[in-house]
């Protein structure tokens, strides 16, 4: 399906009304190469791939072609100790989590209600409530748009880091993720290290109970973008050294944090913003959500500049108070493609 001079408002959860020269909805792997070749990618026309647009902020009209990935399909295979899944990149992430649980497969429940499609998950190395994608990912299939060649990257080749991967670096241009492979261990162990999940009994809890608990937490904090435009967590939780965290938490013990296996500490960006008393703070049509400081919302008529200005103030207030400079988790998109979000709000 192909549209010329199309609005991208339906394709970004912030609900920013910008336009693209072309929008193509892709339902199979071969369409990526055929459409990109026909659209003269070799002549350097900007290209952008979207799933559900749940992690982007459009700054202006996009002067190129947008591919909407809708490659579907879920295949299950079984080994003695694991379930193996091959999932089309256009599948909705939350629906995948529900499908696995309804089939009796555990392992994704902590990642419930993360917005977006499966193909976006490896790019960000999505994570929530003590679990990251890298713990369940086996491989990622990609296609190179310039020549139509395919490649399967093992999880170890994806260079997963905190909200980071090879897809933000080496493979960030002229490729498309077409499928993701998952490995779920049959001998399930609940991950209950985060917040309200600690209240669950690890000896009796079921994967479905963890799922419902995570959904309850997320729904209490993050508004549904169908009714209030947002991109979920706007900033990354900052990673700091133990000495830095110790000094900060001595002064501000209420800031939530999480210890990583290497000794570093992940501080709650929401906690830092809370300490700056910015919940409900508003610029134009953009505001800090009054239930979750990490979520910036479009109250109905926000421009992208409103959101940028709000993010800039948040970053400056947190930086001046704590000497910790937040980085956006959301991708900023200019007329020519992705740009450095930190430079925009610095």
CA distances from 190 to 11, 100, 198, 201, 288 (A): 35, 15, 11, 10, 33
What distance in Å separates the CA atoms of residue 144 and residue 177, rounded to the nearest whole number?
9
What residues does 127 pair with on adjacent strands? Answer: 132
Which residues are catalytic, by number?
Answer: 163, 233, 329
Q: Looking at the chain, how many residues does it have? A: 346
On the 0-12 / 13-18 / 19+ scale of CB atoms within 10 A, 206 is middle
What distance in Å separates the CA atoms of residue 129 and residue 139, rounded to the nearest whole number?
22
What distance in Å separates the CA atoms of residue 341 and residue 334, rounded to the nearest whole number?
10
What distance in Å separates the CA atoms of residue 208 and residue 195, rounded to the nearest whole number?
18
Q: Are 119 and 90 in contact (CB under 8 A)?
A: yes
105: its two tokens: 């497969």
What distance in Å separates the CA atoms of residue 48 and residue 69, rounded to the nearest whole number?
10
Spell 168-195 as b/e; 16+ CB within 10 A means b: beebeeebbbbbbbbbbeeeeebbbebe
Nearest CA among 37, 60, 36 for reference residue 49: 36
């Amino acid at each position: 399906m192909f549209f010329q001079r199309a609005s991208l408002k339906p394709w970004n959860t912030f609900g920013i009304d910008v336009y693209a020269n072309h929008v193509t909805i892709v339902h199979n792997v071969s369409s990526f190469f055929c459409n990109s070749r026909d659209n003269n990618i070799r002549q350097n026309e900007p290209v952008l791939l979207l799933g559900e647009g749940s992690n982007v902020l459009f700054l202006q009209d996009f002067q190129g072609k947008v591919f909407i990935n809708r490659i579907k399909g879920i295949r299950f295979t079984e080994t003695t100790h694991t379930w193996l899944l091959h999932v089309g990149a256009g599948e909705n992430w939350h629906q995948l989590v529900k499908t696995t649980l309804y089939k009796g497969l555990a392992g994704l429940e902590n990642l419930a209600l993360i917005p977006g499609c499966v193909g976006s998950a490896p790019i960000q190395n999505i994570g929530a409530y003590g679990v990251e994608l890298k713990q369940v990912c086996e491989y990622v299939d990609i296609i190179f748009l310039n020549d139509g060649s395919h490649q399967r990257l093992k999880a170890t080749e994806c260079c997963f880091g905190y909200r980071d991967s090879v897809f933000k670096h080496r493979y960030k241009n002229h490729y498309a993720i077409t499928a993701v492979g998952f490995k779920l261990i049959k001998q399930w162990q609940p991950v209950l290290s985060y917040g309200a999940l600690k209240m669950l009994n690890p000896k009796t809890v079921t994967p479905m109970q963890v799922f419902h608990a995570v959904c309850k937490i997320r729904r209490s904090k993050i508004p549904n973008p169908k009714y209030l435009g947002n991109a979920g967590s706007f900033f990354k939780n900052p990673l700091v050294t133990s000495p830095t965290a110790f000094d900060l938490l001595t002064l501000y013990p209420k800031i939530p944090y999480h210890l990583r296996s290497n000794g570093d500490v992940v501080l709650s960006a929401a906690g830092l913003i809370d300490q700056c008393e910015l919940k409900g703070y508003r610029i134009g049509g953009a505001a800090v959500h009054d239930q979750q400081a990490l979520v910036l919302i479009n109250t109905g008529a926000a421009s992208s500049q409103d959101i940028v200005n709000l993010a800039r103030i948040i970053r400056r207030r947190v930086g001046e108070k704590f000497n910790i400079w937040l980085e956006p988790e959301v991708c900023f998109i200019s007329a020519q493609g992705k740009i450095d979000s930190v430079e925009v709000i610095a």
